[in-house]
Chains A and B, each alone.
Chain A
Amino acid sequence: MSRRFSGQSAVTALAGRATEASATASELTTAAGTVWRRSLKVRVVSSTVALSSTVVLVLGMVLQAQLAQRLIENKTQAALLQADNSRVLVESELGSVDPTSASLGARLTTAIDRLTNPDPTGSGPATANAGAFEPVLVDGGGPSGEAGTGQKIGPLDDVPAVLQSAVERGALAHKITTVPRGSAAVTMLVVGMPVASAGRTMQLYLLFPLTAEQRTLTLVQSTLVVGGVVLLILIAGIASLVTRQVVVPIRQAAEVAERFADGHLDERMPVVGEDDIARLGTSFNEMAASIQRQIRQLEEFGELQRGFTSDVSHELRTPLTTVRMAADLLYDSRDKLHPVLHRPTELLVRELDRFELLLADLLEISRVDAGVAELHLEPVDVRTTVAAAVASVRAVADRTGTQLELKQPDEEVEAEIDPRRVERIVRNLLTNAFDHGEGRPVQMTVAADDHAVAVLVRDHGVGLQSGQQELVFNRFWRGDPSRDRRTGGTGLGLSISLEDARLHGGWLQAWGRPGQGSAFRLTLPRRHGDELTSSPLPLTPDIPLRSAPASDSAAVDPVVAAHALVDPEPVDPKVSDPEVADPAAADTAVPAEPGRS
């Protein structure tokens, strides 16, 4: 049992190792894939080597085949020549032999001996340079059909039967065959021919071993392989070098481009020579110069804009000082003026206020547009900022007869904000609510979670038409031109507030329905730089459908409740859950309500 267990565990271990190995392999594959994708050099060298190896392989094979064919041809020619000589020799030896003589065997042997050991005096038949051979002589029998003696000398078994039958039919033939010699097999060229002698048909076979040719071929083969490999290595090296020549400048160009993109606008590519790389460098440098020029120009425009803003500011404000103070003086002493002038004096002072506000807002907007608006962050209790905003709009609330209900946490709500800007946002939202709230109470709620702090301002005035949620933040947009404007706002307040919120990385969103009032929600990250994902407060109020007003501590205006009661339409779920909306899209407004206009 224990053996089996150990066997099993061994299997498990093996499987584990296999898994590991496959994991390593897949890692390697991934790494190789990365290198392949990243490195142009690797790709070029690999493809070059792959293609070259195919070419070298084909070339080598053709070469080898050609060589082999030529070798065989030469050998065959030489062999045939040799065979011819041998036939002559054998015929002359056996010409006088009596076919029936018993000495035939001996004569045959002599003939063979003469073949293999040519006449040392050199008077014998010319020997062809076909190398060594083994002769076979067969007595094929008499012409009259009598059976041959069947005498044979030499290894006739090594002569292929096809050749034998061809030669027996009286043809000169040759064939390459493999015969066993000792333990090894030897390839041989066998040439066979009929030999005419005194009416007997005899066949002479010469077996030429092809060992030398084979050796030559093997040598050629190995030379070809070694040469091919060396050639491939050289090609790889050359490809690598050539690619380097191209890739190095390209890599340099990429580095330069990266540095350029990082803001080092003075980066340029070195241009050497007049080749394509140099042209690339020249074009790149031209492009860089052009971009740099345009960026400089834009910067100059920005500077110009900033300077213009400041100039307009000074140039308009100094005469405005005179006018302002003169108007104040007139207003203060209007009792001494003719009664007809009382109202004009009042109007003068009031419109000067508006003019100033408009000027201030225009400057702020142009600052934002010029990108020079600065954020002065400090950790503050948002409740303090809200309180300051509330204090500054008390006069407007009193004038419009609006009551403000403030709901905020008891504990400190610290956030990293620019208090001036946030106070301005809240002030704008409140002024806006008072302005459009028809004198009905306005609720402001402050809430916070770990990441964000939100201020929601809710009025119960005319509300917003469908699609107006986005328009309210447009510059100089007026909800209803026919309505009187109590505060005489500049029409830039909400645009500036939106920009202020954006500077903080926060959201300013609007919700509204005709007759049900509107809600504006400011959401700011508690730590600057944090990305907002949700708001601690829902933007859309919890409007009851057919039931009694919600028991939320924020008082529900009876008029709104009445509206809700007669409202036959269910609340759009999209609107009731603004958190579902894409935060980016919700930057300006929640999804518009369809079919409500």
Chain B
Amino acid sequence: MCNATMVGMAARVLVVEDDPAAAEMLSIALRQAGFETAVVSEGPKAMPAMRELKPDLVLLDLMLPGMSGIDVCRAIRAESGVPIVMLTAKSDTVDVVLGLESGADDYMIKPPKTQELVARLRARLRRIDPEPAERLTIGDLTIDVPGHQVSRDETPISLTPLEFDLLVALARKPRQVFTREVLLEQVWGYQHAADTRLVNVHVQRLRSKIERDPEHPEVVLTVRGVGYKAGPS
């Protein structure tokens, strides 16, 4: 997946969008920004296209005929950790949170500014620079950073790239309390303060995978009124 960002190779973006004009325009804009694009206009066709094209990123409209974007998102997540950016017309918290909980890494409200969209996509494709043979511990977990591997007692835990980045960001500075804004900047690549719900939802999702008891987290701790920090290892 890292090879997507390598020089000379354009990242492939799968655009799932039912409105033909919007889909075409998105393709044009993304190609202009140096991405390769493929367009799927119906929800049920998204998964076959995924398997066939193996895109580096999926840009997903939430309201699709045939199969809702939420279901597509879940289906993709069941098979792959590929970064998913949702494009949604609905900005209600319930819709946003539902989208994020179904597995999207980031979301943008329609209509997106082209620059911002491109910046977000690039941020999703950019990975935390791995240091050679870097190993971290957080709580009772061991992180092999170059190997993209998280394990507890030698048992590997599968995380999406975004969840992995989030965990690494917390583990690298175990004593620091991260505000949601700082995490948005470091993990999502936001230039300025944005929607902190992103952080909340992803921390919940991360906890559901790595905590023994997500109700009483020991790895990613909440610092009330401030943000999150790594649990004692």
Which A residues are closer than 8 A to B by beta carbons? 310, 313-314, 317-326, 328-329, 332, 352, 356, 360, 363, 367, 372, 374, 376, 378-381, 384, 388, 391-392, 412, 414, 419-420, 423
Answer yes or no: B28 CB below 8 A from chain A CBs.
yes
Query: Contact at B225–A360, with CB atoms within 8 Å?
Result: no
Contacts of B114 in A (CB 8 A): 324-325, 328-329, 332
A313-B91, A321-B87, A423-B193 given; 8 more Cβ-contact pairs under 8 Å: A317-B111, A318-B89, A322-B22, A325-B114, A374-B94, A384-B181, A388-B181, A391-B192
Which B residues are closer than 8 A to A by beta carbons? 19, 21-22, 24-26, 28-29, 32, 63, 87, 89-94, 109-115, 179, 181, 192-193, 195-197, 224-226
Contacts of B113 in A (CB 8 A): 324, 328
In the bound complex, what is the Cα–Cα distance between A392 and B181 (angstroms)? 13
Q: How far is the CB of A318 from chain B (nearest CB, A)?
A: 5
Query: Contact at B29–A320, with CB atoms within 8 Å?
Result: no
Query: Contact at B192–A419, with CB atoms within 8 Å?
Result: no
Q: How far is the CB of A350 from chain B (nearest CB, A)?
A: 12
Q: Do A384 and B29 form a contact, CB below 8 Å, given A317-B111, A320-B111, A363-B91?
A: no
Contacts of A423 in B (CB 8 A): 193
In the bound complex, what is the Cα–Cα distance between A319 and B181 (angstroms)? 32
Q: Do A380 and B225 form a contact, CB below 8 Å, given A313-B90, A324-B111?
A: yes
Query: Contact at A325–B29, with CB atoms within 8 Å?
Result: yes
In the bound complex, what is the Cα–Cα distance between A392 and B193 (angstroms)? 8
**Which of B19, B21, B92, B195 is most buried by chain A, counting CB atoms within 10 A of its CB?**
B92
Query: Contact at B193–A356, with CB atoms within 8 Å?
Result: no
Q: How far is the CB of A413 from chain B (nearest CB, A)?
A: 10
Q: Do A318 and B179 form a contact, CB below 8 Å, given A388-B193, A391-B192?
A: no
Query: Contact at B110–A320, with CB atoms within 8 Å?
Result: yes
Contacts of A319 in B (CB 8 A): 19, 21-22
In the bound complex, what is the Cα–Cα distance between A392 and B26 (angstroms)? 27
Query: Contact at B90–A321, with CB atoms within 8 Å?
Result: no
Q: Do A317 and B89 form a contact, CB below 8 Å, given A322-B19, A388-B181, A392-B193?
A: yes
Contacts of A414 in B (CB 8 A): 225
Q: How far is the CB of A329 from chain B (nearest CB, A)?
A: 6
Query: Contact at B21–A314, with CB atoms within 8 Å?
Result: no
Query: Contact at B195–A323, with CB atoms within 8 Å?
Result: no
Contacts of B196 in A (CB 8 A): 419-420
Chain A residue at minimal CB-CB distance from B114: A328
Chain B residue at minimal CB-CB distance from A326: B25
Contacts of B87 in A (CB 8 A): 321
Contacts of A419 in B (CB 8 A): 196
Contacts of B109 in A (CB 8 A): 317
15 contacts between A and B (CB under 8 A): A314-B89, A319-B21, A325-B26, A329-B29, A329-B32, A352-B111, A372-B92, A374-B94, A376-B93, A381-B225, A388-B181, A392-B192, A392-B193, A420-B196, A423-B193
Contacts of B111 in A (CB 8 A): 317, 320-325, 352, 356
Q: How far is the CB of A343 from chain B (nearest CB, A)?
A: 20
Chain A residue at minimal CB-CB distance from B108: A321
Closest 7 CB pairs of A and B: A328-B114, A324-B111, A317-B110, A314-B89, A321-B111, A317-B89, A388-B193
Query: Contact at B110–A318, with CB atoms within 8 Å?
Result: yes
Query: Contact at B19–A379, with CB atoms within 8 Å?
Result: no
Contacts of A384 in B (CB 8 A): 179, 181
Contacts of A372 in B (CB 8 A): 92
Query: Contact at B225–A328, with CB atoms within 8 Å?
Result: no
In the bound complex, what is the Cα–Cα distance between A356 and B89 (angstroms)? 12
Q: How far is the CB of B168 from chain A (nearest CB, A)?
A: 24
**Which of A314, A329, A420 is most buried by chain B, counting CB atoms within 10 A of its CB?**
A314
Q: Do A360 and B91 form a contact, CB below 8 Å, given A319-B21, A324-B111?
A: yes
In the bound complex, what is the Cα–Cα distance between A7 and B47 (angstroms)? 105
Q: Do A381 and B21 form a contact, CB below 8 Å, given A313-B89, A324-B112, A328-B115?
A: no
In the bound complex, what is the Cα–Cα distance between A419 and B179 (angstroms)? 13
Q: Do A321 and B25 form a contact, CB below 8 Å, given A310-B90, A328-B113, A360-B91?
A: yes
Q: Do A379 and B110 form a contact, CB below 8 Å, given A321-B26, A325-B26, A388-B181?
A: no
In the bound complex, what is the Cα–Cα distance between A321 and B181 (angstroms)? 27
Q: Do A322 and B93 form a contact, CB below 8 Å, given A329-B32, A414-B225, A419-B196?
A: no
Q: How far is the CB of A396 from chain B (nearest CB, A)?
A: 13
Chain A residue at minimal CB-CB distance from B63: A314
Contacts of B110 in A (CB 8 A): 317-318, 320-321
In the bound complex, what is the Cα–Cα distance between A348 and B91 (angstroms)? 24
Contacts of A374 in B (CB 8 A): 92-94
Q: How far is the CB of A499 from chain B (nearest CB, A)?
A: 16
Contacts of B32 in A (CB 8 A): 329, 332
Query: Contact at B193–A391, with CB atoms within 8 Å?
Result: yes
Contacts of B225 in A (CB 8 A): 378-381, 412, 414
Contact of A318 among B19, B94, B193, B195 (CB under 8 A): B19
In the bound complex, what is the Cα–Cα distance between A317 and B197 (angstroms)? 22
Q: How far is the CB of B45 from chain A (nearest CB, A)?
A: 19
Contacts of A352 in B (CB 8 A): 111
Query: Contact at A318–B29, with CB atoms within 8 Å?
Result: no
Q: How far is the CB of A345 from chain B (nearest CB, A)?
A: 13
Chain A residue at minimal CB-CB distance from B94: A374
Q: How far is the CB of A119 from chain B (nearest CB, A)?
A: 123
In the bound complex, what is the Cα–Cα distance between A412 and B224 (angstroms)? 12
Q: How far is the CB of A226 from chain B (nearest CB, A)?
A: 78
In the bound complex, what is the Cα–Cα distance between A324 and B29 (angstroms)? 11
Chain A residue at minimal CB-CB distance from B195: A420
Q: How far is the CB of B31 from chain A (nearest CB, A)?
A: 11
Q: How far is the CB of B115 from chain A (nearest CB, A)?
A: 7
In the bound complex, what is the Cα–Cα distance between A416 and B216 (angstroms)? 22
In the bound complex, what is the Cα–Cα distance between A313 and B110 (angstroms)? 9
Contacts of B92 in A (CB 8 A): 310, 367, 372, 374
Q: How far is the CB of A113 from chain B (nearest CB, A)?
A: 122
Contacts of A326 in B (CB 8 A): 25
In the bound complex, what is the Cα–Cα distance between A376 and B195 (angstroms)? 13
Chain A residue at minimal CB-CB distance from B29: A325
Contacts of A376 in B (CB 8 A): 93, 197
Q: How far is the CB of A534 from chain B (nearest CB, A)?
A: 24
Chain A residue at minimal CB-CB distance from B32: A329
Q: How far is the CB of A367 from chain B (nearest CB, A)?
A: 8
Q: Do A325 and B195 form a contact, CB below 8 Å, given A314-B89, A319-B19?
A: no
Contacts of B22 in A (CB 8 A): 318-319, 321-322
**Which of B19, B110, B179 is most buried by chain A, counting CB atoms within 10 A of its CB?**
B110
In the bound complex, what is the Cα–Cα distance between A74 and B5 (angstroms)? 135
Q: How far is the CB of B222 from chain A (nearest CB, A)?
A: 10
In the bound complex, what is the Cα–Cα distance between A325 and B63 (angstroms)? 19
Contacts of B28 in A (CB 8 A): 325, 329
In the bound complex, what is the Cα–Cα distance between A313 and B26 (angstroms)? 19
**Which of B63, B192, B193 is most buried by chain A, counting CB atoms within 10 A of its CB?**
B193
Contacts of B193 in A (CB 8 A): 388, 391-392, 423
Chain B residue at minimal CB-CB distance from A376: B93
In the bound complex, what is the Cα–Cα distance between A367 and B92 (angstroms)? 9
In the bound complex, what is the Cα–Cα distance between A317 and B19 (angstroms)? 11
